[in-house]
Amino acid sequence: MIVRNMHDPEVLATTYVAHRGALARMIMTSEYLKSMEFLAYAMLPPGKAIEEHVDEVEEIYFIMNGGGVMKVGDEEREVKEGDAIWLPAGDPHALTNTRDTMMVILVVAA
């Protein structure tokens, strides 16, 4: 069993800016996982965006707090707390925080 808390020093040490918008931290990576890439969380300030980018693996974004506009390929949709968004591998995607509160996103990559 592996247990990592989002407040552990090892997790806090992984802090980086994801796609010029969100402050992100890796909770678990392929160093620990066998068939998944990572589990991370990101904090996206009001008015900021995770710029459009492409990942080679499929992902799920789970909106834990806040809301905004998610773009996947040519499709855009409003997303909010409690929404899970599946992102196919190879599809361009972006996320904009349109609210006045911090958006918190859990990201799972397979």
Q: Where are the domains of the chain?
A: 9-109
Three-state SS string across 44-72, please? ECCCCEEEEECCCCCEEEEEEECEEEEEE
Dist. CA 33–CA 63, nearest whole Å: 23
Please, what's the b/e burial string for 11-47 (b: 16 or more CB within 10 A of its CB; e: otherwise)? beeeeeebbebbebbbbbeeeeeeeebbbbbbbbeee
Dist. CA 89–CA 95, nearest whole Å: 16
Would you state the pLDDT for residue 31? 87
Q: What is the CATH number of domain 9-109?
A: 2.60.120.10
What pTM value is reported for the model? 0.91
Ranges of the chain with pLDDT below 70: none
